[in-house]
Amino acid sequence: MKIKKVLLCSVIAIVMVYLGFSLFFGSHFYINTVINGENYSASSANAAQKRILDISSHYALTINGREQLSDTITSSDIMLHVEFGDELADIIKGQNMFLWPLSLFKKSEYAIDTMVTYDEGQLEKKIDTLSFFKAENIRQPRDAYLSDYTANGYQIVPEDKGTVPLRDKIYSVVEEAVNTLASSVDLSEKDCYETAMITSEDKGLQSECEQKNRLTGTTITYKFGDETEVLDGNIIKDWIVMDGSTVDIDEELVREYVNSLSRKYDTWGKKREFTTTDGETITIAEGAYGWWMNRADETAELIAQIKSGQSGERIPVYRAQAAQYGEDDIGNTYVEIDLTSQHLWVYSDGELVEESDFVSGNVSNGNSTPVGIYSITYKERDATLRGAGYASKVSYWMPFNGNVGMHDASWRGAFGNDIYLTNGSHGCVNLPVKKAESIYSYVEKGEPVIVYGGQTSLPKPETETQPETEMQPETEIPPETAGTDNLGLTPEQQIQLLIEAGLLNPDGTPVQ
């Protein structure tokens, strides 16, 4: 019985408290009531008016701009005062006093501008005198842009927002702040300044930066023996061009770079010092041997590799290659042919592995074997050497200068001495069959062949020239290489390519 009385008394007390607060909120603002940015919780309309009057009499609006620049407008500047109507009372009337508990969990915000009055002309004049409009405080905005290339590639330099104020926007923002008696306003947050056209968030700028960094981030290493050429962003940056919004590579500048490598490291057509088996050092300027870069193809492939972003070591595209890089590009594996002694030597890794007498081209009829440095074009067993009206079969065919090569000559009974002067070949190096077989087993495609010495003409006889001894029928021209050099080019085409490569002058003389 006592418990029931306690519970009943508690309920009655709660109801009395609830009704008391309900009556209170019939003439006061709810809890969490905000008017023009100020909290008036549980205040009466009269108390709110007094507070507003106090605020307005000492009112000052702080205007904050960019770069810590600020200014102030006071109530006296614009003759501001407050004229109350029924706005505050209407807010209280609009409340349901019995629902006051809900205000404990919910904010009620109101904006009243009819009670604030000021001289609009004075406001305009005051705004025009604000520090934001002074020339010394105004700086034009600058778009975001890409930096120059650095060790870290390209970076986006952020835009400079500048400090150019928008007068109409500022007036609107200040007017709104004054109407609500706001204590401060931030012009930057309210977008009261001119903006840069291109920002660091611009997709086009970001794409350009990404593309350029992918190209310049590529590092390609060329190795020419002991010499190394590194192509990286420091060089590639100067090749970059813009095609609309697409980043591209200037093909002509890449071609110039490839040409410089070719001029520096190509040895095709250059003079060489060679030490013979007899120990004599000779200079050889003739021949079709050495490193010869294919400039056009290398340019195209280099551009493709840069665009793919693939770093690594690169071997150039060559028209012809030598045994090794460096001044001595012959190496220590080669065939040495001395036309004077009509003897040749075959070296493998510096070791003499074979030697033989031979018969070279017939000097008397102008078929002298050409001197110079060449390389084995290919090897072929059981080839048929065809000529005008006949064909000769050989077992070992090793061409090294177009239609000139080494092969067995089973029809000959003797080799060496001065046979070549009047009874030589059509230009080839005729070998004994066994020696040709042995040499064939050693030499490989691309192996250097050094030809030197010999006579190119005979002294004019004092008596009537006797008929030349009849030669054995032979020919030196396999059908697949007839009239071509070891690159598959005619002599005329070879000369033209040498001129294009900058190794020969237009008149055919070597470039010094």
Per DSSP, the residues of 307-328 read HHT--EEE---EEE--SSSSS-
In the three-class reduction of DSSP (H, G, I as helix; E, B as strand; rest coil), residue 390 is classed as strand
pLDDT value of position 486? 40
Per the listing, tokens 């490193």 go with: 291
Per the listing, tokens 């008696």 go with: 181
pLDDT value of position 498? 56
- Tokens in use for 85? 């109507």
pLDDT value of position 497? 55
Residue 244, phi then psi, degrees to nearest 5 = 70, -120
Q: What's the CATH number for 205-320? A: 3.10.20.800
Residue 486, phi then psi, degrees to nearest 5 = -75, 5
Q: Where are the domains of the chain?
A: 1-201, 205-320, 334-459+469-481
Dihedral sign, Cα of residue 473, residue 476, residue 481, residue 484:
negative
pLDDT, tens only, 43-99: 876 777 667 766 667 889 999 999 999 999 998 899 888 867 677 777 887 787 777
Tell me the DSSP string of 65-87. -GGG-EEEEETTTTT-EE---SH
Closest CA to 457 of 344, 364, 369: 364
pLDDT value of position 461? 62
pLDDT value of position 205? 94
Instruction: Name the strand (E) or helix (H) holding 348.
Output: strand 343-348
- Mean pLDDT of successive 10-residue stretches along the chain, which has 512 residues: 77 78 76 81 73 74 95 91 74 78 80 77 94 95 95 95 95 91 93 94 94 95 95 96 90 97 93 94 93 96 95 95 91 97 97 97 93 95 78 92 93 95 93 97 96 86 45 36 41 54 53 48
Closest CA to 40 of 187, 181, 157: 181
Does pTM top 0.85 for this prediction?
A: no
Residue partners of 85: CB distance under 8 A and separation at least 6? 114, 115
Per the listing, tokens 């009112």 go with: 59
pLDDT value of position 49? 65
Closest CA to 380 of 445, 448, 473: 445
Dihedral sign, Cα of residue 495, residue 499, residue 502, residue 504:
positive
Hey, which CATH number is domain 334-459+469-481, 3.40.1370.10, 2.40.440.10, 3.20.20.70, 3.40.50.300?
A: 2.40.440.10
